[in-house]
Structure 1
Amino acid sequence: MSTPDPNPTARVPQLTFRAIVLSMILAVILAAANAYLGLFAGLTIATAIPAAVVSMGVLRLLGGGTILENNIVQTGASAGSSIAAGVIFTIPALIILGYWDDFRYSWVLAIAGLGGLLGVLFSVPLRRTMIVEDPLPFPEGKAAAEVLKAGENPGPGLKLLGFSAVLGGAFKLAAASGLRMLPDTAAGAGFFGKYLGYLGTNLSPALLGVGYIVGLNIGIVVLSGSILSWHIAIPIYHAFFLDSDPALAASIAGAGAEDAAFAIWSAKVRYLGVGAMLVGGVWTLFSLRNSLVSGIRSGIAAARKGAGHIVAETERDLPMKWMLIALVAFVVPLAFLYQAIVGQWLVSIPMTIIMIVAGFLFVSVSAYLAGLVGSSNNPVSGITIATILFASVVLMLMLGRDSPIGAVAAIMIGAVVCCAAAVGGDNLQDLKAGYIVGATPWKQQLMLMIGAFSCALIMAPVLNLLAQAYGIGAPTAEHPNPLSAPQATLMASVAKGMFGGHLPWDMIAIGGGVGAAIIAFDGWLKSRSSSFRVPVLAAAIGIYLPLELMVPIFLGGLLAWLVERRHGVVGTRDESLRDRIHRPGTLFAAGLITGEALMGIAIAIPIVASGRADVLALPEGWQFGKWVGLAVLALVAWLLYRSGTRRTLGETEPGPM
Structure 2
Amino acid sequence: MIPSVRELTEPEASTTEVAPVLTRVREHAAPLELTARALGMGLLIGGLLAVTNVYMGLKTGWWESGSVTAAVLGFSALATVSRKRGSAYTPLENNLTQTAAASVGAMPAAAGLLGALPALTLLGTSVPAWGVAVWSVALGVLGVLAAHLLRRRLVAQEALPFPTGIATAELITAMHASTGTEVRAGRGRLLAGAGAAAVVVTAVRDAFKWLPGMTAMPGTLGGVPAASLTWGVGWSPMLLAIGMMTGPRLGLSMLAGAAVAWGVLSPWLASTGLLADPGYESLSAWLTWPGVGLMVGSAMASLLAQARDFLGAARDLGNLRKGETVPAWAFGVGLGACVLAVALGSMLFGLSVPYMLLALVLVLPLCAVCARGAGQVDVSPVTQMGQVTQVIFGGLLPGAVAPNVAAGAVVSGAAAQTGVSMWSLKAGHLLGASPRRLLAAQLVGVLAGSVVGVPVYLLLTRTQGLGSEALPAPFAHQFRAVAEVAVRGLDGLPPQAALAACVAVGVGALLTFASRGRVARWLPLPVALGIGFILPAYYAVTICVGALGLAAARWRWPAAAERNVSTLAAGAIAGESLAGVLFAALMALGFM
Does the alignment reach a TM-score above 0.5? yes
Separation of aligned partners in 2, 1:170 and 1:143: 27
**Alpha-carbon deviation of 1:592?**
1.8
TM-score by length of 2: 0.70
Post-superposition offset of 1:185: 3.8
Aligned counterpart, 1:229: 261
1:513 CA displacement: 1.0
In the superposition, the TM-score normalised over structure 1's length comes to 0.64
Question: Which residue does the alignment assign to 2:74?
Answer: 55
State the distance in 2 between where 1:320 and 1:217 align.
44
Give the residue type in structure 2 aligned to 1:65: Y
Aligned to 1:173: 200
Matched, 1:245 2:275: yes
Aligned to 1:75: 99
Shift of 1:466: 4.7
Tell me the CA shift for residue 601 of structure 1: 5.2
CA-CA distance at 1:451 after TM superposition: 0.8
Check conservation: 2:25, 2:91, Cα contact below 8 A.
no
Shift of residue 267 of structure 1? 0.6
Alignment of 1:124-135 (within 5 A): none
Native 8 Å contact 1:275 1:511 kept in 2: yes
Q: Which residue number corresponds to residue 568 of structure 2? A: 592
User: Shift of the alpha carbon at 1:516?
Assistant: 1.8
In the alignment, is the contact (CA less than 8 A) between 2:288 and 2:477 conserved in 1? no
Q: Partner of 1:412 in structure 2?
A: 406
Q: Contact between 1:358 and 1:417, CA under 8 Å: does it hold in 2?
A: yes
Residue among 116, 132, 139 paired with 1:108: 132
CA distance in 2, matches of 1:508, 1:98: 23
The answer on whether the counterparts of 2:140 and 2:446 sit within 8 Å (CA) in structure 1 is: yes
- Which deviations, in whole Å up to 9, do the C-alpha atoms of 1:43-91 show, x marking residues without a partner? 7875736644543344233444234423322332233443234343333
Task: Tell me which residue corresponds to 1:548.
Answer: 538
What is the aligned partner in structure 1 of residue 89 from structure 2?
65
Which residue of the partner structure matches residue 603 of structure 1? Answer: 579
- Determine helix, strand or coil for the equivalent of 1:69: helix
8 Å CA contact 2:221–2:267 kept in 1: the answer is no
Aligned to 2:512: 519
Contact 2:359 2:389 (8 Å CA) reproduced: no
Distance across 2 between alignment mates of 1:177 and 1:597: 16
CA deviation vs aligned residue, 1:75-118 (integer Å, no higher than 9, x gap): 32233443234343333666666655743x3x334420122233
1:158 deviates by: 4.0
Task: Provide closer, same or farther for how the CA distance between residues 202 and 66 of structure 1 changes in structure 2, counting only shifts above 3 A.
Answer: farther
Deviations 1:485-510 (A, max 9, x none): 85697589658956788345444322
Question: By how many angstroms is 1:6 displaced?
Answer: 9.8
Aligned length: 542
Q: Are the counterparts in 1 of residues 95 and 428 from structure 2 also a CA contact under 8 Å? A: no
C-alpha distance in structure 1 between counterparts of 2:242 and 2:168, whole Å = 9
Unaligned runs of 5+ in 2: 1-19
Greater radius of gyration (CA): 1
Identity, in percent, stands at 19
- Is the 2:362–2:411 Cα contact (8 Å) retained in structure 1? no
1:281 to 269, 277, 299: 299
Shift of 1:518: 0.8
List aligned pairs for 1:206-355, cutoff 5 A. Answer: 206-240=238-272, 243-246=273-276, 248-249=277-278, 252=279, 260=280, 263-264=282-283, 266-290=284-308, 293-294=311-312, 297=315, 330-331=337-338, 333-340=340-347, 342=350, 344-353=352-361
Corresponding residue for residue 634 of structure 1: none
Among 431, 443, 447, which residue is 2:441 paired with? 447
Letter in 2 for 1:275: G
Aligned residues of 2:100 and 2:445 also touching (Cα < 8 A): yes
2:113 matches 1:88: yes
Q: What is the 5 A alignment of 1:455-494? A: 455-457=449-451, 462=455, 466=459, 486=473, 490=477, 494=481
Offset of residue 450 of structure 1:
2.9
Residue from 492, 504, 510 that aligns with 1:502: 492
Distance 1:590 1:32, change over 3 A: closer
8 A Cα contact 1:208 1:589, kept in partner: no
- After TM superposition, list the pairs within 5 Å mapping 1:23-42 onto structure 2: 23-28=42-47, 31=50, 37=55
Over 3 Å counting, the alpha-carbon distance change for 1:150 and 1:204 in structure 2 is farther
Equivalent residue number for residue 160 of structure 1: 186
What residue in structure 2 maps to residue 620 of structure 1? none
Q: Distance in 2 between matches of 1:329 and 1:536?
A: 39
Partners of 2:311 and 2:389 in 1: how far apart?
26
Equivalent positions of 1:424-435 (< 5 A) are 424-427=418-421, 434=427
* TM-aligned CA distance change 1:490 to 1:150, over 3 Å: same
